[in-house]
Homo-oligomer: A and B are copies of this chain.
């Protein structure tokens, strides 16, 4: 019965037939409704209705409308999420807001191993404000105890680790931080849409994320920012007109809007937001708990099948075997990981590589299947056993310079 639900969900995506796509944790697949949704926005709303669409198609409210749709997926209340800018910029806003809310403290604790952009953003703020107002301290997850946070203004960490796929205990860490007098900013990039999150009960202060991974909003799709209601009167440091109380009155002074709207900056891409909205429509009437269950089934099955195979090289599982500690990807560490990942991609199994020696297999509960697992592991075994990865074309790592 539930199988038919997942068949239906899978049918809502455009997936190339000749490939196994296990990189939805990096770029979500294209929802079948998105081309037409975007064509409508472009041709009808922009092309024909032109400037009037800011009102008639309610473009002006899209960051909030889409924000409310995301709120539903991340266990947040209405009017607490805005979809805009990108994750890094939203983190920048949240971090400065948190420092303002906790003025007697200056220490920003960051997770030592998390996606580095979060820590780059924190470093930029420390540099800007100077050490009197902001000092960074890197902690491991196991060090995030009340004792270690008792001088922290704010803690920034990822709900699911991008490299290993480890899921962190949001409730426990948030409680420890609050007990120590620290605020918390959670990065939901790798958990939104695949983990049942409850930002309200866990009393999270701020959260940030992006919509291009498991939310299927398209390449580089906008980020989002959650600000819990009791913090919504803090300042947005990037005080642009879209966050003004009366943006079309063009007042000379900045007067922030009430509520979550004040965390907007300037004008947002309507095309990008239309695509996000189309991606989110797949989640309608689908309980996140069902997706979480499906995700655990898929990743658990992958781990069991991985264990059952004997590879001719050493393959280390980095992802926790415990359901309670696992996100929606499985990561392995092995020698020649880069070349093997390239050979996998060449054979039609789309995965990704993370330096120095990690291959990530991401599972979207909306469209991945057990068949994907079988095909991926068969390809992995063949590539390793035949040493096909040693071919010269798999050795050169493309770098962006």
Q: Which of B239, B244, B350 contacts A50 (CB 8 A)?
A: B350
**Which B residue's beta carbon lies closest to that of A223?**
B266
- Cβ–Cβ < 8 Å partners of A121 in chain B: 238-240
Structural contact, A123 and B253, CB atoms closer than 8 A: yes
Q: Which of B86, B267, B345 contacts A210 (CB 8 A)?
A: B267
Interface residues of A in 131-171 (CB under 8 A from B): 138
CB of A269 within 8 Å of the partner chain: yes
- Cβ–Cβ < 8 Å partners of A249 in chain B: 355
- Cβ–Cβ < 8 Å partners of A400 in chain B: 60-61, 247-248
A58 to chain B, nearest CB (A): 10
Count of chain copies: 2
Taken together as a complex, chains A and B put the C-alpha atoms of A140 and B208 apart, in Å, by 40
CB of A180 within 8 Å of the partner chain: no
Structural contact, A85 and B85, CB atoms closer than 8 A: yes
1/0 contact string of A45-81 vs chain B (CB within 8 Å) = 1111011111100011100000000000000000000
Structural contact, B92 and A238, CB atoms closer than 8 A: yes
Interface residues of A in 259-299 (CB under 8 A from B): 265-273, 275
- Chain A interface size range: 35 or more
Question: With A27-B50, A252-B119 in contact, do A42 and B265 touch (Cβ < 8 Å)?
Answer: no
Interface residues of A in 92-128 (CB under 8 A from B): 92, 96, 112, 115-117, 119-121, 123-125, 127-128
- Cβ–Cβ < 8 Å partners of A117 in chain B: 240-241, 244, 266
- Cβ–Cβ < 8 Å partners of A218 in chain B: 42, 46, 269-271
- Cβ–Cβ < 8 Å partners of A51 in chain B: 23, 26-27, 350, 352
Structural contact, B89 and A238, CB atoms closer than 8 A: yes
Structural contact, B86 and A240, CB atoms closer than 8 A: yes
CB of A16 within 8 Å of the partner chain: yes
Interface residues of A in 289-346 (CB under 8 A from B): 345
Among the stretches A30-38, A374-382, A383-391, the one at the interface with B is A30-38
| A and B contact pairs by CB, cutoff 8 A, 21 listed | A16-B50, A35-B47, A38-B38, A85-B266, A86-B268, A88-B265, A89-B266, A117-B240, A117-B241, A119-B254, A120-B239, A123-B253, A124-B235, A124-B239, A138-B252, A210-B267, A212-B267, A219-B269, A221-B271, A248-B400, A250-B355
> Which chain A residues have a beta carbon within 8 Å of chain B's beta carbons?
14, 16, 19, 21, 23, 26-27, 29-30, 34-35, 38-39, 42-43, 45-48, 50-55, 59-61, 85-89, 92, 96, 112, 115-117, 119-121, 123-125, 127-128, 138, 210, 212, 218-223, 235-242, 244, 246-254, 265-273, 275, 345, 350, 352, 354-355, 398-400
